[in-house]
Amino acid sequence: MADRTDPTPTGIDEVLNPHRAEELERAQQHAADVLARRGVLLAGNESSEELATLWSAVDRFESIVEARGGDTMTNAPDSSQPDNPAFVLPERKARESATDYAQRIVDAAAALTNFER
């Protein structure tokens, strides 16, 4: 018999939403797929918070590139001849944490706000 006095949020969450873990897994996979299509290298062990932070950083970077007249397709990480190297999403370094990588992307986006065409 289940312990009804168990006050842990996990127990309550499972009762109220038994499919939460599956939904979280799908959301993480979706975020990973979106980031991979945008050229972001993932280690596979990123948390949902790290994926969200990366996605936000990439969106910010791409928005600024577009505002500066850049094209995210011709300036994609896999482009052999980008229009402008500053408009290419920075590559993730070996063993770089997701948090550090997201910060480098945000920093690159900030540098583009002062970029002269």
Beta strands in 2-74 (DSSP E): none
> Does residue 90 contact residue 105 with C-beta atoms inside 8 Å?
yes
What is the distance between the alpha carbons of residues 54 and 92, in angstroms, rounded to a whole number?
11
pLDDT at res. 4? 52
The pLDDT score that the predictor gives to residue 116 is 60
Which distant-in-sequence residues (6+ apart) come within 8 Å of 60 by Cβ? Answer: 105, 106, 109
Do the Cβ atoms of 66 and 72 come closer than 8 Å? yes
Q: How is the chain split into domains, by residue range? A: 9-113
Render pLDDT for 31-58 as a digit per residue (tens, 0 to 9). Answer: 999 999 999 999 999 999 999 999 999 9
Burial (CB count within 10 angstroms: exposed 0-12, middle 13-18, buried 19+), residue 106:
middle
Return the pLDDT at 1. Answer: 46
Average pLDDT score over the chain: 87
Q: Provide the pLDDT for residue 102.
A: 98
Query: What CA–CA distance (Å, rounded) separates 33 from 51?
Result: 10
CB-CB contact of 94 with 45 (8 Å): no
Mean pLDDT split into 10-residue runs, the chain, 117 residues:
53 78 90 94 94 97 93 81 90 95 97 75
